[in-house]
Amino acid sequence: MSTTAFETASPDRALRIGLWTAQGLIFLVFTSAGLVKLLTSIPELAAMMPWAGQYSETFVRCIGLIDLAGGIGILLPALTRILPRLTVLAALGCTVLQVLALAFHISRGEAPVTPLNVILLALSLFVLWGRGRKAPIAARQF
C-alpha cells in the first residue's frame, strides 16, 4: 500500500503549496498579459483582443500596467518577505480587476472569453483568503 506525498502532507503544508502554486499562476498570467498590453502595438493587440482596438491607447496601456502590478504584487512581497501584506492587497486588486473584466466582457457580448477571468477570479480569491487569514507570510525582521 503506497501513499502519495499529498496524502502524507499536513493540511497546512498542502494549503501553503496550493497558495504558492496559485500565486505563481497568477504571476505568470498577469505579468505576461501586462507586458503584452504594454509592449505590443495597438493594431497587433486588436487582432488578438478586438476590444483593444476600440478603446484609447491610454486605456489599453493602463490596463497593462494594472495587470503587471497585480502580477508582481501577488508574488514578490511574499517571496522576499518584504511587506508581505502587499500580497494580500494585490490579491484584492486582482479580484476586483477580474470582476470588472467579467462585467466588461459580458456587457460586450464576449461571454465565451470569460472562463479565464473566472479561473483568475477563483485563484485571486483563494490567495486573498489564504494569505489574509489562513497562511499569512511573516515579514522579514531586519
At 82-137, the pLDDT tens digits run 999 999 999 999 999 999 999 999 999 999 999 999 999 999 999 999 999 999 99
* Torsion (CA) 53, 119, 24, 57 in degrees, nearest 10: 10
Q: Cα–Cα distance between 15 and 36 in angstroms, integer?
A: 31
> Alpha helix (H) ranges present in 1-142?
5-8, 11-39, 42-48, 57-80, 85-107, 115-129
Q: Where are the domains of the chain?
A: 13-134
At 33-84, the pLDDT tens digits run 999 999 999 999 999 999 999 999 999 999 999 999 999 999 999 999 999 9
- Kindly state the cell numbers that stand for 25: 499562476
- Kindly state the cell numbers that stand for 1: 500500500
